[in-house]
């Protein structure tokens, strides 16, 4: 017997509320576990990004259609999380601000508006990232390629911004911060390749006491290591 075609099943309003409750439950657990920074993942084709994207959101209720409606899940989730996460600790989000397709500028201008709303809602910083909401995206991979988008977000929203993706060099990272293009640089693979990246960066940038960026036991040993 042929199998039935796969049809997407939309979340009910009860599903949405339950999921938002799960976000705040997780935030509460993170707080009790001692975390001092919470980042909500609203990027990379995850659920919140799918609510925001015109590509994936086909809803006809209050969570679909207009930008206000597509942003509702994100704003409500932030509000829910803020019921448990204290004002004194950073609350940040990761958002894919740009869909690299033929409507890229539209997705970017929509993201800017949503980020202004999220800033009003109490988000402290946006980790500017990829949307991954449509298979047609042509991502311009290359060194530092997300920095100009993050810089535009910073200028147009007044939010603090971070970004990652192919930022490898200490000089580049330092320049992006010093020139006020980014507030933070995030690294992933450079740190996998070299867990002491920050120490080597501090040395390269000729920062006094570069070992101060390390935990004391590592600092003691690495300080005495002949570095080329
Ligand atoms: C092993 C590994 C696991 C990752 N897992 C996640 C993840 O769970 N969620 C996420 O948003 N990004 C994830 N990323 C992407 C990183 O957050 C980062 O944005 C990306 O690697 C680009 O930064 P980079 O060029 O410094 O590696 C992962 C990357 C690596 C290398």
pLDDT of residue 127 exceeding 90, the answer is yes
Strand 160-163 to 125-130 pairing: parallel
Q: Pick the more confident residue, 213 or 50.
A: 50
Same domain, 180 and 118: yes
Give the ligand 1 atom nearest the CA of 41.
11
pLDDT per residue as tens digits for the range 24-34: 999 999 999 99
Task: Tell how far the Cα of 99 is from the centroid of ligand 1, in angstroms.
Answer: 18
Same domain, 59 and 91: yes
Task: Tell how far the Cα of 13 is from the centroid of ligand 1, in angstroms.
Answer: 31
Same domain, 181 and 201: no
| Phi, psi dihedral angles at 174 (to 5 degrees) | -65, -45
Same domain, 201 and 120: no
Residue 95 lies in a domain: yes
Structural domains counted in the chain: 2
Residue 207 belongs to domain spanning: 194-228
| Phi, psi dihedral angles at 181 (to 5 degrees) | -85, -35
Strand order from edge to edge, sheet including 91-98: 38-42, 91-98, 125-130, 160-163, 184-185
Same domain, 217 and 132: no
pLDDT of residue 43 exceeding 60, the answer is yes
Give the ligand 1 atom nearest the CA of 168.
26
Residue 158 lies in a domain: yes
Same domain, 69 and 175: yes
Closest CA to 48 of 76, 90, 85, 26: 76
Residue 42 lies in a domain: yes
Same domain, 208 and 109: no
pTM (global) more than 0.85: yes
Helix axes 67-82, 104-120, angle to 10 degrees: 40
Residue 10 lies in a domain: no
Task: Tell how far the Cα of 186 is from the centroid of ligand 1, in angstroms.
Answer: 10
Residue 3 lies in a domain: no
CATH assignment of the domain containing 174? 3.20.20.70
Same domain, 183 and 202: no
Report whether 73 contacts 63 (CB < 8 A). yes
Task: Check residue 111 and give left, alpha or beta (phi > 0: left; psi -120 to 50: alpha).
Answer: alpha
Rounded CA-CA distance 57/51 in Å is: 5
The residue-averaged pLDDT of 101-114 equals: 95
Same domain, 104 and 135: yes
Same domain, 205 and 153: no
Give the ligand 1 atom nearest the CA of 164.
23
For ligand 1, pick from 97, 146, 189, 195 the residue to mutate: most ligand atoms within 8 Å of CB. 189
For ligand 1, pick from 149, 188, 190, 191 the residue to mutate: most ligand atoms within 8 Å of CB. 188
Residues 6+ apart with CB under 8 A from 172: 143, 144
Residue 92 lies in a domain: yes
Block residue for tokens 């001092």: 36
Task: Tell how far the Cα of 187 is from the centroid of ligand 1, in angstroms.
Answer: 8
Per-residue model confidence (pLDDT) at position 79: 98
pLDDT of residue 2 exceeding 60, the answer is no
Percent of the chain with pLDDT over 90: 84
Report residues whose beta carbon is within 6 angstroms of any ligand 1 atom.
41, 44, 94, 164-167, 187-190, 192
Residue 215 lies in a domain: yes
pLDDT per residue as tens digits for the range 184-221: 999 999 999 999 999 999 999 999 888 888 888 888 88
Same domain, 141 and 216: no
Rounded CA-CA distance 161/134 in Å is: 24
Same domain, 76 and 146: yes
Residue 4 lies in a domain: no
């Amino acid at each position: 017997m042929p199998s039935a075609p796969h049809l997407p099943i939309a979340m009910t309003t009860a599903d949405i509320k339950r999921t938002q409750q799960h976000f705040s439950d997780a935030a509460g657990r993170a707080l009790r576990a001692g975390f001092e920074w919470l980042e909500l993942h609203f990027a990379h084709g995850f659920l919140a990004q799918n609510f925001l994207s015109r590509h994936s959101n086909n809803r006809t209720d209050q969570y679909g259609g207009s930008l206000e409606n597509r942003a509702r899940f994100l704003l409500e989730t932030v509000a829910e999380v803020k019921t448990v996460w204290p004002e004194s600790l950073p609350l940040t989000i990761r958002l894919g601000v740009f869909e690299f397709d033929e409507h890229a500028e539209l997705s970017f201008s929509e993201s800017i508006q949503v980020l202004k709303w999220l800033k009003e809602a109490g988000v402290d910083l946006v980790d500017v990232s990829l949307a991954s909401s449509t298979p047609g995206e042509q991502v311009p991979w290359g060194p530092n390629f997300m920095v100009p988008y993050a810089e535009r977000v910073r200028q147009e929203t007044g939010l603090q911004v971070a970004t990652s993706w192919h930022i490898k060099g200490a000089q580049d990272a330092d320049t992006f911060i010093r020139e006020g293009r980014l507030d933070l640089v995030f690294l992933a693979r450079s740190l996998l390749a070299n867990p002491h990246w920050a120490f080597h960066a501090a040395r390269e940038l000729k920062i006094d006491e570069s070992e101060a960026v390390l935990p004391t036991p590592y600092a003691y040993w690495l300080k005495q290591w002949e570095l080329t």
